[in-house]
Amino acid sequence: MLQHASGSGPQNAAGRQEPAAEPAGWVEPRATALLVLADGTVIEGAGIGAVGEAAGEVCFNTSMTGYQEILTDPSYAGQVVTFTFPHIGNVGTNEEDVETAVLERPSGVRGLVLAASTTEPANWRATRSLDSWLRAHGIVGITGVDTRALTALIREGGMPNAVIAHDPAGLFDREGLAARASELPSMEGLDLVPMVTRDAEGNWTEGVWELGRGHGTPEGGRFHVVAIDYGIKVNILRLLTRSGCKVTIVPATASADQILALRPDGVFLSNGPGDPAATAAYAVPVIREILDRKVPTFGICLGHQLMGLALGGRTVKMHQGHHGANHPVRDNTTGKVEIVSMNHGFAVDPASLPGHATQTHVSLFDGTNCGIELTDRPAFSVQYHPEASPGPRDSHYLFDRFIQMMEKGAKATPAV
């Protein structure tokens, strides 16, 4: 187990510290939650959130803020998130910091792992505690875990599959949970986009949140952007509307003909969960058609990976992935370094890309590809979240690049 004994007592003859004797009649508290890894490792703790079981791939996130935005990011579908920052839940939750555009599917996260127990919220925007919010949305959690040890395990062995279980009575079928964890499929080969995409076309009008005003509805609509929803975060949509775009969202399964019939000035390829090679079966032919029509195109995260696949490249499963709001990336076009928000377990292999795809951004943590731009068509993409929420706003300039690309496209012959 990834837990350390507490207490201290007298030294034995060898000079080692003996555990302190427990008081008479003391009974060790029963664990009310378990995290059972595929290799049989059992981690005990206290349950939080929904009662029940959930299964998924365990990753760790190094963000210090924005846990509600992380828990509602559809890109985390199929995953159990371990927060490395110890104080999660201290600002509660509210109805404005939700990042899923499909409200009836409030979260893709299967479960969460915390070090410390949550406290009552201490923030004027809070409307309920994290525990209450988790229960309302059916998310299972465990607290009291040595998250540093679990993070080290993931760094050394990769992201394991696991089952997380919460029972207030502490009654668990440990062998059954271990068997279930060992039988879970790998994230490789899984198309999880159908879990998080919208079912029908729709418009987006909400703007960026401002103190005293909320989100509001920006005026304008100079450019019409069609956003393909692979699991889109809503702050992307808010930044597009703030930039003066009319935004139409379409499901991940929308055809190229359906998208082009909307006469877009630009197409946005959103973030999303799962293995991009699996989603590519229906997404790549659409993206290729859009690129061939020379419609200005901007992709992020899964959208970036799908663009790479559409160009004939390949994607690879990462050892531990990138999950956090403190990742350094170099923009090769300017030489500047920006701190960005990331959430991905797959990456584009830059060596597999064709000559007309330039690598524009690179991770300064491990050198993986973080951006591409085409030299023969108006398209670019990045392997991170320029919209933040949570995270720094260093990369908001990419939305300006997209606007400038559409401005140039407006002067050219219409694509349709």
Domain locations in the chain as residue ranges: 33-183, 193-410
Tell me which of 213-222, 282-291, 324-333 is least confident: 213-222
Q: How confident is the model at residue 101 (pLDDT cuts 50, 70, 90)?
A: confident
- What backbone torsions phi and psi does residue 374 show, to the nearest 5 degrees? -90, 145
Q: How many CA atoms lie within 13 A of 80 on its CB side?
A: 29
User: At the topology level of CATH, where does 193-410 sit?
Assistant: Rossmann fold (3.40.50)
Q: Which three-class secondary structure string do you get for the chain?
A: CCCCCCCCCCECCCCCECCCCCCCCCCCCCCCEEEEECCCCEEEEEEEECCEEEEEEEEEECCCCCHHHHHCCHHHCCEEEEECCCCCCCCCECCCCCCECCCCCCCCCCEEECCCCCCCCCCCCCCECHHHHHHHCCCEEEECCCHHHHHHHHHHHCCCEEEEEECCCCCCCHHHHHHHHHHCCCCCCCCCHHHCCCCCCEEECCCCCECCCECCCCCCCCEEEEEEECCCEHHHHHHHHHCCEEEEEEECCCCHHHHHHCCCCEEEECCCCCCHHHHHHHHHHHHHHHHHCCCCEEEECHHHHHHHHHCCCCEEEEEEEEEEEEEEEEECCCCCEEEEEEEEEEEECHHHCCCCEEEEEEECCCCCEEEEEECCCCEEEECCECCCCCCCCCCCHHHHHHHHHHHHHHCCCCCC
- pLDDT for the residue numbered 123: 94
The per-residue pLDDT for 9 is: 38
Cα–Cα distance measured from residue 386 to residue 381, given in angstroms and rounded to the nearest whole number: 10
Compute the average pLDDT of residues 347-368. Answer: 98
Residue 26, pLDDT score = 57
Query: What pLDDT is stored for residue 156 in this prediction?
Result: 96
| CA-based max dimension of the chain | 88
Q: Which residue has the tokens 């009291």?
A: 144
Q: pLDDT of 22-32, one tens digit each? A: 566 655 678 99
- Return the pLDDT at 40: 96
Q: What is the mean pLDDT of the chain?
A: 91
Nearest to 320 by CA among 158, 206, 164, 200: 158
**4: pLDDT strictly greater than 70:** no
Q: How far apart are alpha carbons 266 and 402 in whole angstroms?
A: 8
Identify the CA nearest to 130 among candidates 97, 169, 166: 97
Catalytic: 215?
no
Q: How many CA atoms lie within 13 A of 238 on its CB side?
A: 22
Residue 293 has pLDDT above 80, yes or no: yes
Residue 65 confidence class, pLDDT cut points 50, 70, 90: very high
**What is the average per-residue pLDDT within 125-134?**
96
Catalytic: 206?
no
Question: Which phi and psi (to 5°) does residue 154 adopt?
Answer: -65, -40
Specify the amino acid at residue 13.
A
Q: Higher confidence at residue 58 or residue 413?
A: 58
Q: Is pLDDT above 50 for 416?
A: no
pTM over 0.75: yes
pLDDT range class, residue 412, cuts 50, 70, 90: low
Instruction: Single out the catalytic residue among 301, 323, 327, 373.
Output: 301
* Catalytic status, residue 323: no
Residue 82 has φ and ψ, to the nearest 5°, of -100, 120
In this predicted model, which residue has the larger pLDDT, 299 or 216? 299
Residue 227: pLDDT over 60 = yes
At the top level of CATH, which class does the domain 33-183 belong to?
A: alpha beta
State residue 18's pLDDT score: 54
Confidence band of 71 (pLDDT split at 50, 70, 90): very high
Could you give the angle at which helices 302-310 and 276-292 cross, rounded to 10 degrees?
Answer: 60
Token duo for residue 39: 């290799």
CA–CA separation, 359 and 377 (whole Å): 15
What single letter denotes the amino acid at residue 399?
F
pLDDT at position 260 over 60: yes
Q: How many CA atoms lie within 13 A of 387 on its CB side?
A: 28
Distance CA(76)–CA(207), nearest Å, equals: 24
The C-alpha R_g of the chain, in whole angstroms, comes to: 23
Write the single-letter amino acid at 53.
E
**pLDDT tier, 201 (very low <50, low <70, confident <90, very high otherwise):** very high
- Min mean pLDDT across 4-18, 273-287, 334-348 is at 4-18
Peptide bond into 185 cis (omega under 30): no
Residue range 335-357, pLDDT digits in tens: 999 999 999 999 999 999 999 99
With cut-offs at 50, 70 and 90, classify the pLDDT of residue 20.
Answer: low
State the pLDDT at residue 27. 56
pLDDT at 79: 97
How much of the chain exceeds pLDDT 90, in percent? 82
Cα–Cα nearest to 221, from 248, 202, 200 = 248
Average pLDDT over residues 54-70: 96
Is the pLDDT at 13 greater than 50? The verdict is no
Strands 266-269 and 369-374: unpaired
- pLDDT of 120 > 60? The answer is yes
Q: Is the pLDDT of residue 129 over 80?
A: yes
Q: How confident is the model at residue 66 (pLDDT cuts 50, 70, 90)?
A: very high
What average pLDDT score do residues 41-46 get? Answer: 97
Which range, of 76-90, 96-110, 185-199, averages the lowest pLDDT?
96-110
Q: How many CA atoms, within 13 angstroms, populate the side-chain half-sphere of residue 340?
A: 30
pLDDT above 60 for 38: yes
